[in-house]
Structure 1
Amino acid sequence: MNNSIYENNLSYYKNIRSYDLMTPKERAHALSIGAPVDRMPVYMMADLVIPQLIGTTLRESELSAKRKAEVQIAGYRMFGFDSVGMMHGLYSLPIAIGGAYSDPENLTRTLIEYPVKDISDLSVLDLDCVGLCKDEAASKAFDAIRYVQEAIGDEVECTMNFTSPFTVASGIVGIEKFLTALAKNTERAEQVLQFVLEAQFKLAKEFLKEGITVGTSDPVASCTIINPKLYRKFAQPYEIEFAKRCMEYMGKPLSIHICGNTTKILNDVADCGFSTFSLDNMVDLAVAKREIGNRMHLAGNVDPVAVMLQGTPRDVEKSVHSCYFKAWDSPKGFSIHTGCDMPYGTPLENMEVYLREAKKCAKEHAEALLKEKDYYIWDDAAEVENEKI
C-alpha cells in the first residue's frame, strides 16, 4: 500500500464521513430494536477500485491475507459504508482442484482451463482435497477477516461470501459444457452440483464456526444466461440447501446477489428464504418492490458501468435518487447499493457523488420512516421516470 496515495484519497473523501454519526454496528443494533438512527445503511461494491485508491493493484492486493485486509480497512475508513467483507471468489474452488487461470492486474481471475475435462470423468472431485489448508483463496480470506476484525471490528462487521453451487459448477466443467450436460447428461451434472454444495459448505463451515456471517451469490443463475425453468430445477434447490445449512449456524437467513436480469425469477429467489436480495441494475426496483418487496429486503441498484464508470456526476446523482424514489418504502426495507462491482478506473468524483447522495438520501430515508413528508429529496426522480413512460 502506498500511504501517500491512500492519505490523499482519505482526505478527498473526508467530507463523506461527516454524514456518519453512528458506526455501522451501532446503526444496525439501533435498527434491530426500532431505535432512531442517523441514516439508513449505505453499500457499494468497490473491491475492484479500492486497490487503485491505496496505490496498488488488485493482483497485488490478493497476494496475502494482510494485503486483502488492507483493502477492506482502507475502503471503510475512506467511504464509511455499512459492511466490509471477503469473497471466496466465483471460481476459487475450481482453481483449488486443478483449474488453470489468468491473473489480470486489475480484474478478477479468469479460468482458462477447467478441472473436469470430460463430464464422464469426475475423478478430480474429491472432498478430501477440499479444505482451508488446501484452498488458498479461502485460507487468505479467513486470516484477512481476523486482521479486519482487529483493526475495525468494533465498528463494522466483516462478512464472507461463498458462491452458490450452480455458478461454481459451471467453473468446474465450463459453462457451455455444463449447460449441455444439464440437458443431455443430467445425472453427471447433478453429481457436480452435489460435490460443489458439499465442498462450498465444508469451507463455509470453518467461517461459520467462528461466528462470521456468510452470504452468497449466483451470477450464472440469472435469466441473462439461463431460463427460469433451468433456474428452478438446477440452481434454486442448491441455493436453498446451501442457505439452509449456513442458517443452522448463523441463526438468521442469508443475503444473496445475482448478477444480470432476474426479473422472471424474483418470486423464486424469494421462495429460497433469503433475507436480502442484492439486485443487478438490469432489474427495475419498482418491479422488484411490487413483486417481492413484502417478502425480502431489497438492495440496489446503481449501474456500475453506464453510470458509475461512464456517466457524469449528475448521472450518478440522478441514479441514486431514482433508486430511492422507486424502493425507499419497500415493505421489508431497502438499502442503496451498486448493481454489481464497479470496474477499475471508476472516477473518484463519481464515487464521491454516489456516497454523498446515498448518505443524504439515507438520512432522509431514516426520517421518513418515522414521519411522512410532503416532499423527499429523491422526488426529483419522478420527472425522469415520467420521461421514460
Structure 2
Amino acid sequence: MELTSRQRIQNSIRGQATDCVAVGPYMYDVAVAFSGVVLRDFYTDADVMTKAQLALHEALDQDVIAVGADNCYIAEGFGCKTTRERDELPAITESPAKTLDEVFKIEPLDPYRDGRMPVMIDAIKQVRAAVGDSVAIRSPGTGPFALASYLIGSQTWLYEVGMLEAGLTEGTEDAIRHALEVAAESLIRFGKACWDAGADIIHCGDSLASCDMISPSTYERFALPYEQKVFQAWRDHGITGSLLHICGDSTRVLDMYAKSGAAIVEVDNMVDLSVAKQILGDRVALMGNVHTINDLLQGTPESVEEASRRCIENVGGGNHFILGSGCIVPRDTPIENLQAMVRIARSIHPTAGETTPA
C-alpha cells in the first residue's frame, strides 16, 4: 500500500493504517532562507509565500506544507500596529484598546477582508492548485486566548486575567469574556475560510495559554472553553483536521487538551512523548516533537535521525501520530537536518515501528 502524503496525513489523524510514519515539521520562514526570497515579501505576498513553500517541499517531500509566517496577520485586522522590517517578522507595537473597557468596541473580523488573513487564504489556494490532491496543507491560526491578548497587549491581558482569577479585582470579567468571544469568532471564521480554500489541518496556536504563562486552573476557566467553541464550530463545518498547538510543558493539562475537541494535539519538545501518549491515548492524534534548537537547528543529520526515531518509539511505533517539530522550525535550520527527519519517517512502518529499507 503506497499512499499520497495527503492520504497519509488523513489516515494518521483518523488512527488508520499508513504505509510509513507521517511527517510534517512546522515550517514557515525556513522556506525564506531556503528559497532566497525577501522575508517581508514572504509575509505580505501570497505569490511569494507560495513560491517559497513549494521550493522547500521540492527539496524535502514532507507530507505537510504549512502556510503562514507570523502571529500578527489576524491581529492587524483589529487595528494592531505592527512592524514591517525587510528581514524580520512583524511584531505588534500598539494594541487597539488602551483600557479593558475599550474592547467592547471591537467586533469579530472578516477573514476575506481584514488584516493579512486574505494573504494566507490566497496562499492556501495557490498551494492546493499547485500540488493537487497529493500533499496535505496546514493553515495558520492564532488561538482565542492569545488573540484576545493582542487587543490590549499581552502583559496587560495576563495581569487582568490573573487578577480576576485570584479574586483581586471586580467588574472586569465581562470585558475579558467579550475579548475572548471576539477572538474565538474571528478564528472560527478564518479557520472555515482556510478549510474552504483547501487546507487539511486547521491550526489553533494558543501559546499564551501555556502552563509556562498561566496556571492550569486559569487555562480551564479562560482558555479551554473558547478553544472548545472554536473546535466545535469547525467540526460543524466539516473540518476533520483541527490542531491545537500550545508551547511549553503542557503535561499537567494534556487531559484537558484531549477534551478541547481538537483532532490533533501538537506538543512542544519539553513534553515527554511517551507520557503524552499515555495521557492522551487514542482520543486524539499526537504530533511532535523533535527539538527545534538542539536537534534541528544545531544538530546533525545523524542526531536528527536519532531524535526522530526516539519520538516514534515513544509513541509506540507511530500509529495515530505525525512526526513533527516541537514548535516553529528556525529560519536557518540546515536543509540536511530536515531531510534526515523526513527520511527516518519514510523508513518506519507505523504499525510495527520497525525500520525497513528506504
TM-score of the aligned structures, taking structure 2 as reference length: 0.88
Task: Give yes or no for the alignment of 1:188 onto 2:163.
Answer: no
Could you tell me which residue of structure 2 aligns to residue 283 of structure 1? Answer: 271
Could you tell me which residue of structure 2 aligns to residue 100 of structure 1? Answer: 81
Q: Which has the higher helix share?
A: 1
Task: Give yes or no for the alignment of 1:338 onto 2:325.
Answer: yes
Q: Structure 1 residues 90 and 31 mapped into 2: Cα distance closer, same or farther (>3 Å)?
A: closer
Could you tell me which residue of structure 2 aligns to residue 302 of structure 1? Answer: 290
| Unaligned runs of at least 5 residues, structure 1 | 1-19, 370-375, 379-389
**Contact in 1 for aligned 2:22/2:322 (Cα 8 Å):** yes
Task: Give yes or no for the alignment of 1:357 onto 2:336.
Answer: no
**Contact in 2 for aligned 1:165/1:238 (Cα 8 Å):** yes
The Cα of 1:308 is off from its aligned counterpart by 1.1
181, 184, 197: which one pairs with 1:197?
A: 184
Q: Which amino acid aligns with 1:241?
A: K
Question: Residue by residue, what CA displacement relative to the aligned partner does 1:224-279 show, whole Å, maximum 9, x if unpaired?
Answer: 11110110000000000011011101153622111111111000010112221111
Segment drifting more, 252-261 vs 164-173 = 252-261
Could you tell me which residue of structure 1 aligns to residue 117 of structure 2? Answer: 138
How many angstroms apart in 2 are the aligned matches of 1:300 and 1:34? 16
Secondary structure, counterpart of 2:249 in structure 1: coil
Question: Residue by residue, what CA displacement relative to the aligned partner does 1:312-366 show, whole Å, maximum 9, x if unpaired?
Answer: 3332222112111211347x62221111111111123322322222322xx3335
Q: Structure 1 residues 47 and 208 mapped into 2: Cα distance closer, same or farther (>3 Å)?
A: closer
Could you tell me which residue of structure 1 aligns to residue 126 of structure 2? Answer: 147
Secondary structure, counterpart of 1:272 in structure 2: coil
How many angstroms apart in 2 are the aligned matches of 1:283 and 1:156? 28
Q: Structure 1 residues 155 and 118 mapped into 2: Cα distance closer, same or farther (>3 Å)?
A: same
Task: Give yes or no for the alignment of 1:176 onto 2:155.
Answer: yes
Q: Structure 1 residues 31 and 237 mapped into 2: Cα distance closer, same or farther (>3 Å)?
A: closer
Q: Structure 1 residues 31 and 291 mapped into 2: Cα distance closer, same or farther (>3 Å)?
A: closer
The 5 A counterparts of 1:226-375 are 226-250=214-238, 252=240, 254-329=242-317, 333-360=320-347, 363-366=348-351, 368=352
Q: Which amino acid aligns with 1:100?
A: K
142, 148, 155: which one pairs with 1:163?
A: 142
**Contact in 1 for aligned 2:188/2:230 (Cα 8 Å):** yes
How many angstroms apart in 2 are the aligned matches of 1:35 and 1:191? 40
**Contact in 2 for aligned 1:65/1:141 (Cα 8 Å):** yes
Task: Give yes or no for the alignment of 1:83 onto 2:50.
Answer: no
How many angstroms apart in 2 are the aligned matches of 1:176 and 1:79? 39
Q: Structure 1 residues 191 and 35 mapped into 2: Cα distance closer, same or farther (>3 Å)?
A: closer
How many angstroms apart in 1 are the aligned matches of 2:291 and 2:11? 30
The Cα of 1:126 is off from its aligned counterpart by 2.9
TM-align CA RMSD: 2.7
Q: Which amino acid aligns with 2:62?
A: F
How many angstroms apart in 2 are the aligned matches of 1:95 and 1:32? 32
Structure 1 segments, 4+ long, off by >6 Å, are 29-36
Secondary structure, counterpart of 1:90 in structure 2: coil
**Contact in 1 for aligned 2:212/2:249 (Cα 8 Å):** yes
Could you tell me which residue of structure 2 aligns to residue 55 of structure 1? Answer: 36
Could you tell me which residue of structure 2 aligns to residue 24 of structure 1? Answer: 5
**Contact in 1 for aligned 2:18/2:349 (Cα 8 Å):** no
Question: Residue by residue, what CA displacement relative to the aligned partner does 1:271-296 show, whole Å, maximum 9, x if unpaired?
Answer: 11222111110111011011112322
Could you tell me which residue of structure 2 aligns to residue 46 of structure 1? Answer: 27
How many angstroms apart in 2 are the aligned matches of 1:110 and 1:64? 17
How many angstroms apart in 1 are the aligned matches of 2:66 and 2:131? 12
Q: Which amino acid aligns with 1:273?
A: G
The Cα of 1:113 is off from its aligned counterpart by 1.2
Tell me how many residue pairs correspond in the alignment: 347
